[in-house]
Structure 1
Amino acid sequence: MDILQKITELREELQQHNYNYYVLDTPVISDLEFDMKLKELQELEEKHPEYYDANSPTQRVGGAITKNFETVQHEYRMYSLDNSYSKEELQEWEQRVHKGLGTTAVTYTCELKYDGASISLTYENGKLAQAVTRGDGFQGDDVTNNVKTIRSVPLKLRGDYPEKFHIRGEIILPLDGFAKMNQDLIEIGETPYANPRNTASGSLKLQDSSLVAKRPLDCLLYSIIGNNLPISTQFEGLEKAREWGFKAPKEAILANSIQEVIAFIDHWDVHRHELPYETDGVVIKVNDLYQQEELGYTAKSPRWAIAYKFKAEQASTKLDKITYQVGRTGAITPVANLQPVQLAGTTVKRASLHNADQIAKLDVREGDTVFVEKGGEIIPKIVAVDFTQRQENSEPTKYITHCPECGTELIRKEGEAQHYCPNFYGCPPQIIGRVQHYISRKAMDIEGLGGETVALLYNADLIKNYADLYELTKEQVIPLERMADKSAENLVNGIEKSKEIPFERVLYALGIRYVGETVAKKLAKHYKSIDGLANATLTELILVDEIGERIAQSVIDFFENEKNRMLIERLKGYGIQMELNEATDTSVSDKLAGNTFVVSGVFEKFSRNDLKKAIEDNGGKVGSSISSKTNYVVAGENMGPAKLEKAEKLGIPIISEDDFAKMINN
């Protein structure tokens, strides 16, 4: 037998044993036998480097060092799920699904909601090509080297897999593995990890992949995404994933009614503690992928899926003191400082009290014994006071009247829940917060500069606003705490590189109140430049698609402020992009300007995504549902009956994909 044949056979054999052990949980050889075969393969590969294969089983031991994780754009956005906390909310969701589809013939896939770190894996020609963290849903970090060390992630697929596709899931740390890691730390006198979820997430960002390989991470997959996939339902997707070699948990079921969904929830609410990993709820998805497309998405979440969260864990502890935080917009947030208490795997010391109304509603006072919950098992919050434990000399909480940072008298606008500090340009947390927002990933994404460093720069009197960043020198920065020569150089270089950030992100970075990512993109596309936006009137702004009076007035207020105008002039002088780059603008024409289209059905010549892109590239707007504002419905085969009925009722023209092609080609 020649060397290459021997290497190939060993690789295939080890991949099968790996699959048997980590995915099927049915090993057929001992650990010792596996290790002996792996060692034999390693020795052969070392002697014959010409036969190197990045997806060999030997690569799972790690060794690659990643100093900076590259930011990667998701080909398909990773949405978050809407949460529900009651059976009534589930039934309301089902009613919305029926209404949106115009039918009650809907089945659901029920899956456990795994408490881990979201991941998107890309496979090309049956091989793992890339692994990217969720990030902000639009882009994440490339952690491929680290994910390759996870034994349940197949490096090569089996069966009839597509040429290219993405599969989403969670990287988790099973409870027994987590307990073993903590025991090892305790034995050497180190501090144990707080909880499996955070430990799994942190593992993905370790620079040395050989360290990741030593952690007993697992990967549970649940969603296949791509073009021309050989599946028509979510449940079929889970079955296919298993056939191709993925670990798709078998607890998932197909439910024919919301009653069956609730039965699944009730079962796992009791039995979830028997699972080898943490789960905090159940995810319910419309099973049919075509129906999923028909239902579409809101700005943040799919309409075809919802997460039912198990009741949050609750604990009682003493509230020592109420303090107040000042955000970048001047909003005041009261914070309950608590005696430390264990809750859902973490030590809780602080909880949000939201605003003055919430304090009054709960009648929370310093010295009270309070019940603390994790809202969605993430953010701790006080849900009630144990009045039986209240001290006799207790006095009601008096909400502060002046800013705890700068002493300015607080204001509270009519109809708003929060108090604000109006000292926009003189209140330190507001200044620091605005610069931190400016450098953040979704905004200017300045590498080498973090939130703590911004505070150090401000406290050292080196910056008073985000424009000051562009005058920083390496020599000024080096004396800062924990700042070495290379760190200072990276910071200055990162600031310089931010001059390439496109205008729509610059506009978001400016921190105009109510102007988030989506609004910034709309305004940038409409006005093309900062000057065009600055000169817009209130009426003109309100007429821009999806820009309401509140946003419009906030934009007007921002540009009417002389200090803001001076900052923008300085940014222009430093070379910041203040105009839409035509090269990045995908606009083809404005033939469809002023028209809203709804896309429904299955098409022959276009994919639905291609259709939507063509509408936007030619100046039109894509609507998610039919209304009186819809101008055209582009209909393919099997158009949703609810949409067809509504379009006919409102008298909205229904056109084919050929009609649409003529509209944009004429």
Structure 2
Amino acid sequence: MDIQTTIQSLRDELSQHNHNYYVLDKPTISDFEFDQLLKKLQDLEMQHPEFFDENSPTQRVGGSITKNFTTVAHEHRMYSLDNSYSTEDLMDWEVRIQKILGNVDLEYTCELKYDGASISITYENGKLKKAVTRGDGFQGDEVTNNVKTIRSIPLQLKGNYPPKFAIRGEIILPFSGFEKMNQELIEIGETPYSNPRNTASGSLKLQDSAEVAKRPLDCLLYFIVGNNLPFKTQFEGLETARKWGFKVPTQAKLAKNMQEVLEFITYWDVHRHDLPYETDGVVIKVNSLQHQDELGYTAKSPRWAMAYKFKSEQVSTRLNSISYQVGRTGAITPVANLEPVQLAGTIVKRASLHNADQIQKLDIRIGDKVFVEKGGEIIPKIIAVAERGNESFPTVYITNCPECQTALERKEGEANHYCPNFYGCPPQIVGRIQHYITRKAMDIEGLGGETVALLYQNGLVKNYADLYDLKIEQILPLERMAQKSAENLINGIEKSKEVPFERVLYALGIRYVGETVAKKLAKHYKNIDAIANASLMDLILVDEIGDKIAQSVIEFFENIENRITIERLKAVGIQFELVENNTQVSDKFAGKTFVVSGVFEKFSRDDLKKAIEDNGGKVGSSISTKTDYVVAGENMGPAKLEKANQLKIAIISEEDFLGMIGN
């Protein structure tokens, strides 16, 4: 086999494995085996650049920078859909189209309406050629490099396809990925994203495609446009697209009449909450493409399609006041204090107002009656003013920190105002210490967030280094503090001196440095002094460290107070040097993912996870099709047990695991 054939064969094999994993959710090889094949292909492509292919699986990692996105005209206009909100609306729509078609028997394709960012992707000779956002329907922004990083979108099609066509769909961010991204932001003291849809849309316009590649975006396809298409109905089109390699949702249904359409709507109005991504309605399309052609378009919408919008549960209530919260990084978050009201099964008293721009946009005023709904079914938010208060005045956003009265700042391009009094603002001080003691950081047993606040209020701590000077006799007078709890607190602080360097680095609370970044920095630099003395360019060259993170690290260590605090922590024995992991005893679990559940006799859960990693394995947080083994102890969660059995994943005992590692 010549080298070009070998390269193409590897590309085809990797594309198939990618399809199995991201589209079918049925992987046939481990992550480790996939990575090995990908590395082999990367090496061959580097050695033979004459065989470069922009649609090779190796190009999905991104890395290209787009300063300005080119505006491109759509070959086929992207129309918007008319909306309906009731059975009567749909019946009226059917009457209108029957008048045009002449009372023919109609079938409909029912599809869920996905709440994402619309995209049109053009393929030529089976290869992804161009991806363009919806824009105004006539033209949009070309985001091809960013879209290529989304692994559920095929770069090369399978089967018999037309020489050229475009396929439409929605770029979405599943709830699990959205929550993970927000958790990482919260951990580094940043404001979380407001909803999955806007986050998905914003991701498509990031300048660095490598950053897009890190985001867990997905793409659901639903409509093909082009000439001489090899199918005659919308439903056949969905099935054909699936055969070509596209991720087409399986929830779509062929309805023989309007009654079946209504049954589909009724079912999904309830079960949409079980889906892993946002959907806000159902799209009903006349199934026959010939009928679609006959019906044509209005100035704005196709006559042959209608969007039925699910009703978001919303209520109106009085806005009593607006308060302003200060986060540990100084970010200011305005919060609406509401007259308590029942919404989606819970009593809502507060709602996020996000920032000054949102307040101004909605012209929200104290005393107004406002509409409140659950944003993405999760976070209560104010969506509009329902009724203006009798003596209302425009809301004037605060100019000074509500806690320390320092004048607020707002950097260019930032959504939030910030209090710059980093070392003197009480919520920031307390927030940093509370972050320092968390489980993923120093994990100080016996010390909680409320106790930290008490210690600060009583003048016992002003930064996390002060924790190590505490004495039992200082703690005992505190509220709800007895001899035993005081001893546990001091012992927990003492034990934190054993926490490894990468967790200490995360605990310091450097802005933008979450768990993963802290591990990268610790592994690269080995000790705190090397990081403190690194230049901006040195930091940027570290894997996954961009300009923003690097600049934040530089600023942290330039501050004399931070330097003094670190020296104090060094003096009491905090680990500021990486202890090289020499416990890797084998790679027998390479490519294998384990989930640990329950209580064990011979291992703590952390020790068990370490043993897995020491033998080359990965530890997953939840059971999925990627899981190879579940190590089950006493009191394993019934939901995990059921899911493991459902997915036919091997469930092993503690003894089984010991046998696998040879103990």
TM-score, reference length from structure 1: 0.52
> Is the CA contact 1:62–1:212 (under 8 Å) kept in the aligned structure 2?
yes
Matched, 1:269 2:272: no
Deviation at 1:2, TM superposition (A): 2.6
Q: Secondary structure at the match of 1:26?
A: coil
Which of 380, 383, 389 is the aligned partner of 1:380?
383
Matched, 1:254 2:254: yes
Deviation at 1:126, TM superposition (A): 0.4
> Is the CA contact 2:353–2:382 (under 8 Å) kept in the aligned structure 1?
no
Q: Secondary structure at the match of 2:132?
A: strand
1:85-484 map, 5 Å: 85-319=85-319, 350=359, 367-372=367-372, 380-383=383-386, 396=390
Deviation at 1:380, TM superposition (A): 2.6
CA change 1:205–1:365 in 2 (3 A) is: closer
Deviation at 1:188, TM superposition (A): 2.2
- Residue type of the partner of 2:384? K
- Residue type of the partner of 1:86? S
> Is the CA contact 1:70–1:141 (under 8 Å) kept in the aligned structure 2?
yes
Matched, 1:53 2:53: yes
CA change 1:365–1:120 in 2 (3 A) is: closer
Q: Name the CA distance, whole Å, in 1 between partners of 2:211 and 2:86.
A: 41
CA change 1:2–1:376 in 2 (3 A) is: closer
Q: Name the CA distance, whole Å, in 1 between partners of 2:73 and 2:169.
A: 17
CA change 1:344–1:141 in 2 (3 A) is: farther
Identify the residue that residue 581 of structure 2 maps to in structure 1. none
Deviation at 1:257, TM superposition (A): 1.2
CA deviations 1:243-281 (Å, max 9, x no partner) are 100001010000011111111011111111111111010
5+ residue gaps, structure 2: 323-334, 339-347, 395-412, 416-663
Identify the residue that residue 67 of structure 1 maps to in structure 2. 67
Deviation at 1:190, TM superposition (A): 2.2
Q: Secondary structure at the match of 1:372?
A: strand
CA change 1:375–1:101 in 2 (3 A) is: farther
> How many corresponding residue pairs?
371
- Residue type of the partner of 1:114? Y
CA deviations 1:99-158 (Å, max 9, x no partner) are 121124111000000010000000000000000000010000000000000001100000
- Residue type of the partner of 1:145? N
1:637-656 map, 5 Å: none
Q: Secondary structure at the match of 1:55?
A: coil
Deviation at 1:368, TM superposition (A): 4.7
Q: Name the CA distance, whole Å, in 2 between partners of 1:277 and 1:213.
A: 19
> Is the CA contact 1:373–1:381 (under 8 Å) kept in the aligned structure 2?
no
CA deviations 1:2-46 (Å, max 9, x no partner) are 322221111110000001111111111111111111111111111
> Is the CA contact 2:337–2:349 (under 8 Å) kept in the aligned structure 1?
no
Deviation at 1:338, TM superposition (A): 6.1
1:599-610 map, 5 Å: none
RMSD: 3.3
Q: Secondary structure at the match of 2:227?
A: coil
CA change 1:3–1:119 in 2 (3 A) is: same
Identify the residue that residue 12 of structure 2 maps to in structure 1. 12
CA deviations 1:177-200 (Å, max 9, x no partner) are 111111222222222211111110
Q: Secondary structure at the match of 2:162?
A: coil
Q: Secondary structure at the match of 1:167?
A: strand
CA change 1:344–1:35 in 2 (3 A) is: farther
- Residue type of the partner of 1:128? L
CA change 1:71–1:371 in 2 (3 A) is: closer
Identity of aligned residues (%): 69
Q: Name the CA distance, whole Å, in 2 between partners of 1:344 and 1:286.
A: 41
> Is the CA contact 2:193–2:199 (under 8 Å) kept in the aligned structure 1?
yes
- Residue type of the partner of 2:143? V
> Is the CA contact 2:337–2:350 (under 8 Å) kept in the aligned structure 1?
no
- Residue type of the partner of 1:241? A
CA deviations 1:478-521 (Å, max 9, x no partner) are xxxxxxxxxxxxxxxxxxxxxxxxxxxxxxxxxxxxxxxxxxxx
Deviation at 1:98, TM superposition (A): 1.1
Identify the residue that residue 79 of structure 2 maps to in structure 1. 79
Q: Name the CA distance, whole Å, in 2 between partners of 1:268 and 1:382.
A: 30
Q: Name the CA distance, whole Å, in 2 between partners of 1:211 and 1:191.
A: 18
> Is the CA contact 1:318–1:338 (under 8 Å) kept in the aligned structure 2?
no
Q: Name the CA distance, whole Å, in 2 between partners of 1:200 and 1:94.
A: 34
Q: Name the CA distance, whole Å, in 2 between partners of 1:375 and 1:84.
A: 21
Q: Name the CA distance, whole Å, in 2 between partners of 1:343 and 1:78.
A: 39
TM-score, reference length from structure 2: 0.52
CA change 1:12–1:351 in 2 (3 A) is: same
Deviation at 1:343, TM superposition (A): 11
Q: Name the CA distance, whole Å, in 2 between partners of 1:90 and 1:345.
A: 35
Q: Name the CA distance, whole Å, in 2 between partners of 1:47 and 1:67.
A: 30
CA change 1:365–1:45 in 2 (3 A) is: closer
CA change 1:82–1:375 in 2 (3 A) is: farther
CA change 1:286–1:47 in 2 (3 A) is: same
Q: Name the CA distance, whole Å, in 2 between partners of 1:346 and 1:252.
A: 36
